[in-house]
């Protein structure tokens, strides 16, 4: 069983919902025992959660205290973190074996940076039309001189799911 944190936009980016669904569908085929860790149930997180539950994947929602009242779908495990947004991200990323960054704004990018700082393999979907698209230009390989974990960038959501599923399973993660 792998715990995969999915960082994705809390708002709407044209086309990202479909890419998120393609990612989850491919993930369900390749990692049917995966548990998805998601930071809430609004914006594109709804696309990820709904697709995962439809495909029979387990989902854990890490709700920030500001949004503990959000209506969540049956079948999702809800953790009321008692933390504000960034603090709940720490709990989510720390609980993950691997992190998939599907695209988003500063919160999504913070989760990518947390993954790096915690030594978690992380994979970034590119060309989604969100601020996170700038990560590849800013950090083409490693985020700093420590070279903790190589950032892996992929434009195809299906291929991204394949990479996420193989991370840490004896398959090299230096995909550069």
In a domain, 176, yes or no: no
In a domain, 116, yes or no: yes
Q: Give the predicted TM-score (pTM) of the model.
A: 0.94
pLDDT value at position 1? 82
pLDDT band at 122 (very low <50, low <70, confident <90, very high): very high
pLDDT band at 94 (very low <50, low <70, confident <90, very high): very high
The Cα–Cα gap between 148 and 62 comes to 26
How far the first Cα of the chain sits from its last, in Å, is 26
With a cut of 90, say whether residue 168 has pLDDT above it.
no
In a domain, 61, yes or no: yes
With a cut of 70, say whether residue 41 has pLDDT above it.
yes
Angle between helices 44-54 and 16-30 (to 10 degrees): 30
With a cut of 60, say whether residue 175 has pLDDT above it.
no
In a domain, 63, yes or no: yes
| 158, two tokens | 């299906």
Rounded to an integer, the average pLDDT of 107-135 is 97
pLDDT value at position 176? 41
Please count the structural domains in the chain: 1
In a domain, 172, yes or no: no
With a cut of 80, say whether residue 171 has pLDDT above it.
no
In a domain, 148, yes or no: yes
In a domain, 156, yes or no: yes
pLDDT band at 169 (very low <50, low <70, confident <90, very high): low
Q: What percent of the chain has pLDDT over 90?
A: 94
Q: Which domain holds residue 98?
A: 3-166
With a cut of 70, say whether residue 170 has pLDDT above it.
no
What number of other Cβ atoms are within 10 A of residue 106's Cβ? 10
In a domain, 174, yes or no: no
pLDDT digits (tens, 9 = 90+) for 24-37: 999 999 999 999 99
CATH number of the domain that 117 lies in? Answer: 3.40.50.450
């Amino acid at each position: 069983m792998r715990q995969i944190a999915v960082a994705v936009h809390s708002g709407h980016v044209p086309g990202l919902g479909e890419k998120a669904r393609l990612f989850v569908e491919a993930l369900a085929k390749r990692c049917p025992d995966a548990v998805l860790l998601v930071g809430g149930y609004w914006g594109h997180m709804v696309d990820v959660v709904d697709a995962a539950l439809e495909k029979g994947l387990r989902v854990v929602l890490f709700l920030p205290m500001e949004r503990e009242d959000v209506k969540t779908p049956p079948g999702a495990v809800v953790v009321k973190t008692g933390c504000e947004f960034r603090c709940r991200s720490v709990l989510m990323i720390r609980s993950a074996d691997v992190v998939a960054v599907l695209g988003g704004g500063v919160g999504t990018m913070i989760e990518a940076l947390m993954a790096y700082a915690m030594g978690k393999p992380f994979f970034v979907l590119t060309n989604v039309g969100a601020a996170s698209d700038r990560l590849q230009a800013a950090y083409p390989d490693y985020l700093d001189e420590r070279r903790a974990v190589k950032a892996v960038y992929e434009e195809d959501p299906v291929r991204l799911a394949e990479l996420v599923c193989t991370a840490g399973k004896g398959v090299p993660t230096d995909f550069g």
